Amino acid sequence: MSKNAFNHFIISIEEYFNQNKRDLPWRKKTPMAYEVWLSEIILQQTRVAQGTPFYKKIIAAYPTVKALAEAPEDELLALWTGLGYYSRARNLQKGAQQIMAEFKGQLPSTSKDLLSIKGIGPYTAAAISSICFGERKGVVDGNVYRVLSRYFGIHSPINQGSGPKEFQELADELVQEAQHPGNYNQGIMEFGALHCTPKKPQCESCPLASFCHAYQHQSIDELPVKIRKNNRTEQTIHFAVVERGGKWAMCKRDTSSIWGGLYEFPRLESAPKKGILMQDPITHKLSHKDLHCHFWAVDEGAIGEAQEFYGKGEMEGLGMPVIVSNFVKNML
Ligand code: SF4
């Protein structure tokens, strides 16, 4: 790679960010580490347009690390309902409690210390430390893999062998030369999200096109290289919808499972002999598995005794998986 191509990349990315940055509530002149952390956790599996209303709701409820650390878990999970991947919310709160105990309520300023906090991985640590404290540490996420692999023509798989390390080293090398590491890091992510997109990237109007390896060699569709693993699984869940005097039996999942800490209807081991299927089965797609959910109206005898019953209004204050809260909204 020529020095010209290397420098052109950094300058163009920073320029792109200055000209195109989206106005987002956590993107401030002096960014606050707590706000950037919260936004990064919310956006890990969620698009900006979908995540921003959740960010506003959660930051309004818990404006400080202390408030988040002390929040009742059920209340936090209820605010998180609809975002999915609930372990993120639980880890976020554990992280806040750790920051209170070990860092006097202030997020640390280096990616090394940030990495010691529950729920913060290399990408989030680099984002917080570079944006809020100017540390020269490169961020690497799906957007960054795509932009770097295309521009520099890197064919190493992004999910296997030495590929991830190679990309991290290149990202670290590039950020050393940036004017402002935080703007550069946000710029490359923004550029990947909005311009060098997975399908139909805007090459004709791209400031990187003159040095872009993939554009010059017509290999855009080949990059980045990802080794596919097809290990999706399927699971069928039979929910027991049991009513007693205008209230319904609900139970809380234990924290080690999918949807841990959330409320749902009790589960049956198999389809009941006596029961009415209340709607066609619904398939809920998780990242690694398809859940086929059946909702059965059954008598109280079909479930164990130690169940709590909730009215519809009370259920709205509980954290529930989206598929259950939609059922409650539409069918009860
Ligand atoms: S020229 Fe196309 S492939 Fe290359 S960086 Fe620009 S948008 Fe991406």
Q: What does the H/E/C string look like for 66-91?
A: HHHHHCCHHHHHHHHCCCCCCHHHHH
Residue 39 bridge partners (DSSP): none
Cβ 148 under 6 angstroms from ligand 1: no
Q: Do both 144 and 211 map to the same domain?
A: yes
Q: How far apart are CA 65 and CA 83, in angstroms?
A: 20
Cα 194 to Cα 83, 136, 138, 186, 329: the distances in Å are: 22, 24, 19, 12, 35
Whether 190 and 53 share a structural domain = yes
Does residue 228 belong to any structural domain of this protein? no
Q: Contact, 83 vs 42, CB < 8 A? A: yes
Per the structure, the complete domain to which residue 202 belongs is given by 3-222
Judgement on whether residues 83 and 172 belong to the same structural domain of the protein: yes
**240 and 127 in one domain?**
no
CATH number of 294's domain: 3.90.79.10
Q: Which among 215, 217, 223 is the best mutation to test ligand 1's pocket, defined by most ligand atoms within 8 Å of the CB?
A: 215
Q: Is 5 in the pocket of ligand 1 (CB under 6 A)?
A: no
Q: Is 70 a catalytic residue?
A: no
Ligand 1 midpoint to CA 7 (Å) = 16
CA nearest to 208, candidates 222, 192, 221: 192
CB of 150 within 6 A of ligand 1: the answer is yes
Location of structure tokens 């706000």: 35
Q: Is residue 318 part of a domain?
A: yes
Q: Are residues 135 and 281 part of one domain?
A: no
Q: 220 vs 12, 100, 208, CA distance in Å? A: 19, 46, 13
45 located within any domain: yes
| Contact assessment for residue 38 and residue 79, using Cβ atoms and an 8 Å cutoff | no
pLDDT the model gives residue 179: 96
* Residues 249 and 101 placed together within one structural domain of the fold: no
Measured from the CB, is residue 11 less than 6 Å from ligand 1?
A: no
Selected catalytic residue, list 14, 35, 40, 135:
40
pLDDT 10s digit of each residue in the chain, 332 long? Answer: 788 999 999 999 999 999 999 999 999 999 999 999 999 999 987 889 999 999 999 999 999 999 999 999 999 999 998 888 888 999 999 999 999 999 999 999 999 999 999 999 999 999 999 999 999 999 999 999 999 999 999 999 999 889 999 999 999 999 999 999 999 999 999 999 999 999 999 999 999 999 999 999 988 988 999 987 777 788 889 999 999 999 999 998 877 667 888 999 999 988 888 888 998 889 988 877 889 999 999 999 888 777 899 999 898 888 899 899 999 988 88
| CATH number (domain holding residue 31) | 1.10.340.30
List, in sequence order, every beta strand (DSSP E) within 177-227.
none
Q: How many domains does the chain have?
A: 2
* Token pair in block for residue 326: 């939609």
Of 177, 198, 222, the last residue of a domain is: 222
On whether residue 321 sits in a domain, the answer given is yes
Domain end marker among 201, 222, 243? 222
Same domain, 198 and 311: no
151 lines ligand 1 (CB under 6 A): yes
Strands 289-297 and 233-241: parallel
**Which residue's CA is the nearest one to ligand 1's atom 2?**
203
- 8 Å CB contact between 80 and 319: yes
Q: Cα of 31 to ligand 1 centre, how many Å? A: 29
310 within a domain of the structure (yes/no): yes
Confirm whether 200 is domain-assigned: yes
User: Does residue 227 sit within a domain?
Assistant: no
Residues 90, 28 share a domain: yes
Decide if 290 contacts 258 (C-beta within 8 A): no
Closest approach atom of ligand 1 to CA 206:
6
Tell which residue, 203, 329, 152, 43, has the closest CA to residue 35.
Answer: 43
For residue 314, being part of any structural domain is answered with: yes
Same domain, 244 and 188: no
Domain ends where: 222, 247, 278?
A: 222
pTM of the model: 0.76
Is the Cβ–Cβ distance between 209 and 215 less than 8 Å? yes
Rounded (5°) CA angle 209-186-32? 170
Residues 159 and 93 in one domain: yes
Same structural domain for residues 49 and 92?
yes
Pairing assessment for the beta strands 282-285 and 233-241 based on DSSP bridges: unpaired
